[in-house]
Amino acid sequence: MNTTTNTRPRVTAGVGRLVRRLEIERRRWSRTELPVVPTEQAWRAGVAEGLRLAQLAIRKGV
């Protein structure tokens, strides 16, 4: 009898690592320790939102 084993690494392991890394970066960008001007605050919020959307796209497989 001929059996085949799946020896390829799981693709989801790399995706999970990437999603976790994006979550860490999103939290870093959304958190501010010092008072910042409203423009910088809005810019940081935009970066954090972009990272969040990237996570969603990766999870969906887009």
> For the segment 7-52, what is each residue's pLDDT rounded down to a tens digit?
655 555 678 888 888 888 888 877 777 787 888 888 888 888 988 9
pLDDT score of 40: 85
Q: Which two tokens stand for residue 60?
A: 């969906």
Sign of CA dihedral 23, 27, 28, 30: positive
- The reported pTM is 0.58
pLDDT score of 2: 60
pLDDT score of 31: 76
Sign of CA dihedral 17, 18, 19, 22: positive
Sign of CA dihedral 30, 32, 35, 39: negative
pLDDT score of 10: 54
The pLDDT of residue 60 is above 80: yes
